[in-house]
């Protein structure tokens, strides 16, 4: 039976989001039974559904120490409704232990259940999905530290072997990288259900932060950019291009450390098989990535290290302005849109997003020092 705080939170969220109470109850039922209401609120804070102030105020209102009417000033009804609608889509009304969004026709990944084991890891919650995978919450059975379990699926009929290869390549790619700004891989199994056990960052990703806060202060945008650039420098030195740098793949820890994840479509300089297999079969060649962050050459299937710089430039523009530039148009000068940003930052962003890849500065060839010079700040050494 739900505790009084859980019932109060469900009623309050349904009221503020203007949703039927049973919708919120369905969401609650799909959450891991081991989570307390406070832990659920903390998770939603990390995911950007509620602000930390709002979550605390809800608890105080339940205790009679805060006016419930004042909560409306701390909660955005439209954003809350969208978040709850999304969570409701993931909850399964008929099978309350089955978690994850409905699987589209043609996908081969099963929807896992709470308490189900993958190898030695027990499924404790659902974290999200990517183009080639779904991600669940688990914990190391011996060390008791939280882990992210990434389960492979094939989103497009006819490319099962290709995406399986990509999944295995990502695990081996991450295993080669040991850097504080890159999500680490701890284990991999290539059985009936292929999966990886990854480091669980625990904090919100950049997409959630931008959705909740809008544009970041220049100094915070600089700190994010430097840590992403450091991650790319380590990957590029290992011969690896990420090819999908975007807000959803920029994770944070509860301490605020930035970590780059999801190397699922990374290209290795000398590790992946050539374009033609030993049997003479042509490998599928198509543009992988996220269109709004893809460099011109990447849209034609030729993304590499300098494509990562292009995506980082777009991401920096988004962090500073709160929006994305129009496709096919010249990047606006950021210093004309945002206070406390120098013209040097604007010009560096334009170089990072130049149509000609050779004009873009690489993390291994001075990009980090150029960022420090343009912003006039330094970040503590990695």
CA distance 55 to 38: 9
In sign, the C-alpha dihedral spanning 241, 244, 247, 249 is negative
pLDDT reported for residue 315: 98
The span from the CA of 351 to the CA of 230, in Å, is 18
- List of residues 6+ apart from 352 with CB closer than 8 A: 309, 310, 312, 313, 316, 360, 361, 367
pLDDT per position as a tens digit, 364-379: 999 999 999 999 999 9
What pTM does this model have?
A: 0.69
For the chain, which residues make up each domain, given as ranges? 4-90, 117-199, 206-375
| Residue of 148, 209, 136 whose CA lies nearest to 183 | 148
Which is more confidently placed, 310 or 272?
A: 310
Q: pLDDT confidence of 92, banded at 50, 70, 90?
A: very low
Environment class of 20 (CB within 10 Å of its CB; exposed 0-12, middle 13-18, buried 19+): exposed
Which has the closest alpha carbon to 55: 65, 66, 41? 41
Provide the pLDDT confidence category of residue 276 given band limits of 50, 70 and 90. very low
pLDDT for the residue numbered 86: 67
187 three-class SS? strand
Residue of 175, 167, 159 whose CA lies nearest to 191: 167
Q: Tell me how far CA of residue 2 lies from CA of 26, 35, 269, in angstroms.
A: 13, 11, 53
Q: What is the pLDDT of residue 286?
A: 46
Residue 179 has pLDDT above 90, yes or no: yes
- pLDDT greater than 90 at residue 335: yes
pLDDT confidence bin for 50, thresholds 50/70/90: confident
Statement: residue 141 has pLDDT above 90: no
Residue 288: pLDDT over 80:
no
- pLDDT at res. 98: 45
- Considering only residues 125 and 286, tell me which one the structure prediction assigns the higher pLDDT: 125
Distance from C-alpha of 246 to C-alpha of 223, rounded to nearest angstrom: 16
* pLDDT above 70 as % of the chain: 79
Compute CA 98 distance to the chain's CA centroid, rounded to the nearest angstrom: 22
Hey, what CATH class is 117-199 in? Answer: alpha beta
Q: How many alpha carbons fall within 13 Å on the CB side of residue 336?
A: 4
Using pLDDT thresholds of 50, 70 and 90, give the confidence band for residue 236: very high
The predicted structure's pLDDT at residue 109: 54
At residue 79 the predicted structure's pLDDT band, cuts being 50, 70 and 90, is confident
Mean pLDDT of 126-141: 81
Q: What is the pLDDT at residue 377?
A: 96
| pLDDT value at residue 41 | 86
Mean pLDDT (whole number) for 193-213: 90
β-pairing verdict for 195-199 and 146-152: antiparallel
pLDDT at 278 over 60: no
- CATH 1.10.150.120 is right for the domain spanning 206-375: no
pLDDT of residue 209: 92
pLDDT at 219 over 60: yes
pLDDT of residue 256 exceeding 60, the answer is: yes
**Do residues 19 and 81 make contact, with C-beta atoms less than 8 angstroms apart?**
yes
Supply the residues annotated as catalytic: 244
Mean pLDDT, the chain, integer: 81
| pLDDT of 272 higher than 50 | no
């Amino acid at each position: 039976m739900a505790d009084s705080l859980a019932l109060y939170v469900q009623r309050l969220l349904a009221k503020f989001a203007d949703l039927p109470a049973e919708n919120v109850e369905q969401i609650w039922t799909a959450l891991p039974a081991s989570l307390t209401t406070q832990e659920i609120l903390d998770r939603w804070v990390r995911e950007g559904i509620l602000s930390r102030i709002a979550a605390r105020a809800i608890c105080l209102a339940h205790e009679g120490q805060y006016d419930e009417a004042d909560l409306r000033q701390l909660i955005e009804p439209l954003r809350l409704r969208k978040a709850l609608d999304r969570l409701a889509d993931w909850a399964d009304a008929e099978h309350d232990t089955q978690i994850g969004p409905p699987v589209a026709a043609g996908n081969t990944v099963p929807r896992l259940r709470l308490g189900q084991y993958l190898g030695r890891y027990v499924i404790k919650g659902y974290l999200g999905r990517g183009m080639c995978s779904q991600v669940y919450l688990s914990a190391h059975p011996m060390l008791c530290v939280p882990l992210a379990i990434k389960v492979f699926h094939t989103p497009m009929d006819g490319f099962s072997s290709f995406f399986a290869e990509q999944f295995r390549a990502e695990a081996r790619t991450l295993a080669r990288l040991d850097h504080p700004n890159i999500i680490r891989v701890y284990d991999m199994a290539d059985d009936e259900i292929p999966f990886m056990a990854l480091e669980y960052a625990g904090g919100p990703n950049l997409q959630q932060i931008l959705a909740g806060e809008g544009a970041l202060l220049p100094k915070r945008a600089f700190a994010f950019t430097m840590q992403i650039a450091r991650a790319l420098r380590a990957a590029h030195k290992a011969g690896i291009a990420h090819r999908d740098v975007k807000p959803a793949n920029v994770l944070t820890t509860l301490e605020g450390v930035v970590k780059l994840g999801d190397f699922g479509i990374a290209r290795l300089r000398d590790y992946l098989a050539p374009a033609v297999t030993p049997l003479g079969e042509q490998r599928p060649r198509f543009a992988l990535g996220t269109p709004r962050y893809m460099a011109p050459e990447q849209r034609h299937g030729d993304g590499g290290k300098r494509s990562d710089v292009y995506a980082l430039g777009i991401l920096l523009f988004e962090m500073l302005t709160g929006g994305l530039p129009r496709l096919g148009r010249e990047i606006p000068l950021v210093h004309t849109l945002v206070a406390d940003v120098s013209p040097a930052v604007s010009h560096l962003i334009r170089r990072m997003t130049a149509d000609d890849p050779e004009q873009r500065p690489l993390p291994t060839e001075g990009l980090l020092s150029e960022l420090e010079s343009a912003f006039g700040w330094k970040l503590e050494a990695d």
